[in-house]
Chain A
Amino acid sequence: MKLARDTWLVFQRQLLLMVRTPVWIAVGIIQPLFYLLLFAPLLKKVLAPEGAGSYADAYQVYVPGLLAVLCIFGGLFTGFSLLGELKAGIIERSRVTPVSRLALLLGRALRETVALLVQAVLITLIALPFGLRVSPPDLLLAYLLLGLLALMTSAISFGIALMVPTDAAMAPVVNTVAQPIALLSGVLLPLTLAPDWLQRAARWNPFYWAVEGMRALFSGHAGDAAVWQGLLVVALMTVLAVSWSARLFSTRVR
């Protein structure tokens, strides 16, 4: 009860701040548009040997990957906003109040989750005229998976922001985390194109399971094992990431 109330208070304030800096909203909408309009045509050619003859086929493969990458990276980079708040003393001011520490994290991570899900919906809508077809129940399940992904990566990113000693150290740490995640999850191209050893390595990457689940949902195979596996892996990771980060929110001194 108190947790829900506190989370709502933090979330509300975070949303207000986002509305007051509309430039970020504009960037958030334009960036995925570019990915859709400028990268997908290229993909159509690349995937042609795999049997993707049309834009519709290419989008079926590409859009779930794009949505996953949006949530993974959007989440991972959100910690930078926390650095500013730490520097301005806003976190410290919150930490002397009886507000729940978990709420300090959840309110912020949920703001990012909502923002990323709005982007995801926009991308889905824009991709429809290009021939993307996905059933509403599958899509809702996909958004659930995406929401968990965003929550998890935001929590990780806030945790990193609380751990790094200086602002300058944040970027290399995040990039070092993000790069192998991206390469080993097949977000842009499906890993079926990859050699065996790379596919085996990818199985150790939890984000690979998420992306596989997304692709199954977008190709209408909600019954595939990949879907529940993806959801399970991401849900577990989210619990771990949130509890790790919430601990840091209550103990870290900065």
Chain B
Amino acid sequence: MPWQPFPVREFRLIETTGLRKSYRKKTSRRSGDSPTVDAVRGIDLSVAAGEIFGFLGPNGAGKTTTLRMLATLIRPDGGRARIAGADLFADPAEVRRRIGYVAQGGGTTDHVSAREELVLQARLYGAGKAQAVRAAEDALKAFDLTGFGDRPCATYSGGQRRRVDIALGVIHEPRVLFLDEPTVGLDPASRAGVWEEIRRLRTQGMTVVVTTHYLDEADALCDRVAIVDHGEVVAEGTPAALKREISGDVLLLGLEPGEDVAGRAAEALRPQPYLHRLEDSGEEGLRLYVADGAAAIPQVLRALDAAGVTPGTVQLQRPSLDDVFLARTGRSLQQS
């Protein structure tokens, strides 16, 4: 039965060690050797019951591959994983019963309604006919889909469709819900709506794992994040703790347009003793990492003045998750 209660003693709902996956690279010529690409190079995770856990990283970092492995869609090459008490390798069928998964693109059929999809989904999870009809009705209410739930899916807006996708993913009341980039392509209001739904699911005791490449999403939504790059976890912790590791403040220095202004400004600032690090963020200007932002501002302006560079704007910022990413990988998440 898919609706069975879950043993309470399973406190760690997801535990993986050394989970990895590589793909054979397609070569156009018959070169004999086919190099492999390591999509995921050994991921260790531990997600507690009731957490909203985020994978943050650029496109191609291996977030989706990891999620699809955990959702039994891809067989990992190696490692170990237990999800909601079931072994991913030994008993993927049991894992399937205990998890829900919502792909980035969703998966609704244009010509049928949300209600019809929900009924079928519940039945695929083993519910009887009457039980499935009831589950669909409850889901329509819980996700506020009643206004359009009997129209064909083709007529839904992006935000409506996303709510349907999530409702489909949890129709069998799974212990763990995996969401792949749940808010990509949504307008700000729908995005806030999706976050609301995710938080609501958590209050019902569900553990939620999301992937995202949005910094604010990881920051605002997730209790804990793993920052992923090139198939590896480069940092893990609560957003607040991760940001605390980046000591001090960030000064964002906007520059007036001109010939090699950024280069000259960087040259003038690098020798300054209060400067920990300096990164060129292109359009945005220069990011200066300093111990005390407020105290550094006049000194920065003076140094620029002496070098004959006119600053456009100076902003004092607390470090963001992007700064964490930058510190660990040497690249900005927004640029990669």
Which residues of A come within 8 Å of B, CB atoms?
6, 9, 13, 16-17, 20-21, 85, 88-90, 92-99, 251, 253
The B96-149 residues at the A interface (CB cut-off 8 A) are 96-97, 99-101, 103, 105-112, 116, 120-121, 123-126
Which chain A residue has the least Cβ–Cβ distance from B122?
A: A97
Nearest-neighbor residue (CB-CB) of A18 within chain B: B111
Q: Is the interface of A mostly helix, strand, loop or mixed?
A: helix
A88 to B108, CA, bound (A): 7
Choose among B2, B75, B120 the residue that contacts A9 (Cβ–Cβ < 8 A).
B120
Asked if B74 contacts A253 (CB within 8 A), the reply is yes
21 contacts between A and B (CB under 8 A): A13-B109, A13-B120, A17-B111, A85-B109, A88-B110, A89-B107, A90-B109, A92-B107, A93-B106, A93-B107, A93-B168, A96-B71, A96-B72, A96-B100, A97-B125, A98-B2, A98-B124, A98-B126, A99-B124, A251-B75, A253-B68
Asked whether, in the complex, the Cβ of B73 is within 8 Å of the Cβ of A95, the reply is yes
Whether B93 pairs with A20 at a CB distance below 8 angstroms is no
CB-based contact B108/A98 at 8 Å: no
Q: Which residues of B contact A (CB under 8 A)?
A: 2, 68, 71-75, 93, 96-97, 99-101, 103, 105-112, 116, 120-121, 123-126, 168, 172
**Docked CA distance A123–B116 (Å):** 34
Nearest CB in chain B to that of A2: its residue: B126
Residues of A within 8 A of B105 (CB): 88-89
Tell me the smallest distance from the CB of A249 to a CB of chain B, in Å. 12
Residues on A with C-beta less than 8 A from B124 are 6, 9, 94, 97-99
**A21-B111, A92-B73 known, 16 other contacts, Cβ within 8 Å:** A9-B123, A16-B116, A17-B112, A20-B112, A88-B105, A88-B106, A88-B107, A89-B103, A89-B105, A93-B168, A96-B72, A96-B100, A96-B101, A97-B124, A98-B2, A98-B126
Q: A198 → chain B, closest Cβ, in Å?
A: 34
* B interface secondary structure, majority: loop
Which residue of chain B lies nearest to A6 when distances are taken between CB atoms in the complex?
B124
Closest B residue by C-beta to A88: B107
- A residues in contact with B109, CB < 8 Å: 13, 17, 85, 88, 90
A51 and B42 CA atoms in complex are apart in Å by 74
Residues in chain A near residue B110, CB distance under 8 A: 88
B125 to chain A: which residues have CB within 8 Å? 97-98
CA distance in complex: A253, B124 (Å): 20
Q: Tell me if A253 and B73 are in contact (CB < 8 A).
A: yes
- Please indicate the chain B residues that have their CB under 8 angstroms from the CB of A251 in the complex: 75
Q: In the complex, which residues of chain A have a beta carbon less than 8 angstroms from the beta carbon of B172?
A: 97
CA distance A239 to B93 in the complex (A): 25
A98 to B92, CA, bound (A): 9
Q: Which residues of B contact A90 (CB under 8 A)?
A: 107-109
* Inter-chain contact B126/A96, CB cutoff 8 Å: no
Chain B residues, CB < 8 A from A253: 68, 73-74
B72 near A16 (CB under 8 angstroms)?
Answer: no
- The reply to whether A97 and B103 contact each other, CB–CB distance below 8 Å, is no
Interface hub of B75, B109, B125 (most chain A Cβ within 10 A): B109
Min CB gap A252→B, angstroms: 10
Nearest CB of A to B124, in Å: 4
CB–CB A16/B112 < 8 A? yes
Q: Which residue of B lies closest to A8 (CB)?
A: B123
Contacts of A17 in B (CB 8 A): 109, 111-112
B-chain residues with CB within 8 Å of residue A98 when the two chains form the complex: 2, 93, 96-97, 124-126
Give every chain B residue within 8 A of A89 (Cβ-Cβ).
103, 105-107
The 7 A-B residue pairs with the shortest CB-CB distance, nearest first, are A93-B107, A89-B107, A97-B124, A96-B101, A20-B111, A99-B124, A89-B105
In whole Å, how far is B171's beta carbon from the nearest beta carbon of chain A? 9
Kindly report which residue of chain A lies nearest to residue B174, judged by CB atoms: A96
- A24 to chain B minimum Cβ distance, whole angstroms, is 12
Q: Is the CB of B99 within 8 A of A96?
A: yes
Question: Which B residue's beta carbon lies closest to that of A97?
Answer: B124
In the complex, what's the smallest C-beta–C-beta distance from B24 to chain A, in angstroms?
A: 12
Across the interface, which residues of B come within 8 angstroms of A9, CB to CB? 120, 123-124
Q: What is the distance, in angstroms, from B101's C-beta to the closest C-beta of chain A? A: 4
A85 to B112, CA, bound (A): 13
Closest Cβ of chain A to B270, distance in Å, is: 48
Bound form: Cα–Cα A13–B106 in Å: 18
B179 CB → nearest A CB, Å: 12
Taking CB as reference atom, which chain A residue is nearest B92?
A98
Q: Which residues of B contact A95 (CB under 8 A)?
A: 72-73
Closest chain A CB from B211 CB (angstroms): 15
Cα A9 to Cα B120 with chains together (Å) = 7
State in angstroms the CA–CA spacing of A106 and B126 once bound together: 18
